[in-house]
Structure 1
């Protein structure tokens, strides 16, 4: 059932808490003193990049972590000797794989305390679509995670206090949902498609929190910062990274957390903050950055080597857009024979 929170109320929640952490805080700083013993966590693509940093840290804090990965053998090899971690097959572009993963979890009877929707598809230069004809970034980053979250609803509810954390990006600022062409069939721009998929993840957190908060399930969207060395920005290429000021002339990462250029441990910290911080006990449906709730900023700020704007834009926390996207997602997950002629 859809909640009754207005856009004004959602905006009021988007105010920094004064968490005591900042852009330079690491995942160890955020998790210090937190005991996750007995908690079950799923991290999609939890074997690579920020996901691997998060998986190791949550397991070290006592959580039992399941990593969802397209290639379980490769994922297991990336996490040798990490206690309380298991790997299961999950391909977010394949609805049958998503359904099977969720069914195996639900059949196990385990409650799910934290779901981290972390996996992301690097922006392909040319338009790629899945077997359903859906643009691949929208299908992977948003629709696959939406399907997974819906399917795991019983396990989240059984935890009697659960969190869903969507790893998004400040790039959401550069596109809302392109309602008339979400799959970019009329024209593909990789940056716009990426931005749309990241806006969708913020709206998913808003929509989920409005529907499920009464069941003890809260939703969060997290901008981790720009972390050189992850699969996503490694796909950009060194020349582009130099232009963006992310690596120096020798190819070494430029670390400046104040402007959003972070180490993996700094980048993963806000994900862990969303997943575990007691300061968020009564707060949900919000976008986080730098280990705190972000303020809203709709100014058209350019990205430069010295400025990477990442505050949340109001189009990404609009509850009406969140409801519309939720309904569109449900429609897109239906078999073609059961879809309405024109989803709204």
Structure 2
């Protein structure tokens, strides 16, 4: 059954932390992979999952940096993975599958934001290739382990950045239109949300459920390094002294608050039997309508997801395109 894009009334909110939403949940015997799990909200997600008893694997391009970052997460495993390198993705997945372990939780948290134009070895635009295609291939390669869990959840970290762009199927890689960093970012985040919709449709009969999340705006994780400080001030994310603003009601969150929705989607029994939805503030987001879109765009604290980011037909089309692009 398709899950309605409508809040549950979870009892949590914008200021809830990852530790709060996972309280009382025992993950002993469960296996989790967290991409980007050695910085920002990915690191916090890895930490709380491990503290709840899960075996946690953190794929990383920079192994030494990851090991240093995870020094206070005893038992976390670090393995090499470069989301821009298809061979690296296959090697990581093959090693995990060879271990014979099921995969109960996969949080796709790694990502880049508003970068200058880069292309991977295939000529694909860098943000789309990293944020979407790399994770698409990772999920495809790890599919046997997700099935073996007999109840798995895949969480893709999307963003309110969906407002910058839908997926331009006619020019995914900015070969015919001027490159705009935030348009490319928005396209990749919309792709994350659409991926969750189609993945859930394909996987739910076999126990694989999927969610996408908006974590909030957390500017002190390194993700915003390509955004000028004056732009962050203008957006209200930094104060006059350059200090990050903390106001979860307006989506300006701490790392602990930013990790909460992803962890909630990955572990909460409130979501048993549900999937294929976009979530924020530790609940399912409402659907933005034509009547409410102007207000939603003007109010950063107003929850909601644009219809094009959860459209089933676009999700199915993106899946087929992604299969072709990743062979």
Aligned to 2:220, the other structure's residue is in SS state: coil
Q: Pick from 300, 306, 323: which aligns with 1:307?
A: 300
Q: Is the 8 A contact 1:171 1:310 kept in 2?
A: no
Distance 1:301 1:98 in 2: 41
For residues 280-335 of structure 1, the C-alpha deviation after alignment (integer angstroms, 9 at most, x for no partner) is: 0011000000000000014145756x63555111101111111100000000012x
Matches within 5 A, 1:153-164: 153-164=143-154
CA distance in 2, matches of 1:25, 1:302: 22
1:244 correspondence with 2:235: yes
Matches of 2:317 and 2:258 in 1, distance apart? 31
Judge conservation of contact 2:110–2:131 (CA < 8 Å) in 1: yes
Report the counterpart of residue 95 of structure 1 in structure 2.
86
Residues 1:319 and 1:302: Cα distance change in structure 2 (over 3 Å): closer
Contact 1:49 1:264 in 2 (8 A): yes
**What is the TM-score with the length of structure 1 in the denominator?**
0.91
1:70 to 40, 61, 66: 61
Q: What CA deviation, in whole Å up to 9, does each residue of 1:20-74 have, x standing for no partner? A: 0010111111011111111100000100011111111111111111001101111
Residue number among 325, 333, 337 corresponding to 2:326 in the alignment: 333
Residues 1:193 and 2:180 are matched in the alignment: no
Question: Cα distance, 1:173 vs. partner?
Answer: 2.2
Distance 2:128 2:73 in 1: 32
Provide the rounded CA distance (Å) in 1 between the counterparts of 2:112 and 2:160.
16
Say if 2:4 is the partner of 1:27: no
Scaled by the length of structure 2, the TM-score of the pair is 0.96
Structure 1 residue matching 2:224: 3-state secondary structure = helix
Equivalent residue, structure 2, for 1:341: none
Mean CA deviation greater in 310-319 or 268-277: 310-319
Contact 2:153/2:266 (8 A) holds in 1: yes
Q: Tell me the CA shift for residue 276 of structure 1.
A: 0.2
- Tell whether the 8 Å contact from 2:296 to 2:303 is kept in structure 1 after alignment: no
1:152 aligns with 142
Change (3 A) 1:302 1:318: closer
Q: What RMSD, in angstroms, separates the aligned Cα atoms of the two structures?
A: 1.4
1:217-272 CA-partner distances (Å, limit 9, x unpaired): 00000100001201112431322211111111122211111111111111100010
1:293 maps onto 2:310 in alignment: no
The question of 1:222 aligning with 2:207 is answered no
1:112-148 deviations in whole A, cap 9, x for unaligned? 00011110012223x2111100000000000000000
The alpha carbon displacement at 1:101 in A equals 0.4
CA contact (8 A) 2:56 2:76 kept: yes
1:316 — aligned with what?
A: 309
Contact in 2 for aligned 1:59/1:85 (Cα 8 Å):
yes
Specify the SS of the correspondent of 1:219.
Answer: strand
In 1, Cα distance between the equivalents of 2:319 and 2:266? 22
Q: Determine the structure 1 residue equivalent to 2:125.
A: 135
> Helix, strand or coil: the match of 1:148?
helix
CA–CA distance in structure 2, aligned partners of residues 282 and 265 of structure 1 = 26
2:110 aligned to 93, 103, 119, which one? 119
8 Å Cα contact 2:286-2:303 kept in structure 1? no
Extract unaligned runs of 5+ from structure 2. Answer: none
Greater CA deviation, 197-206 or 247-256? 247-256
- The number of aligned residues is 323
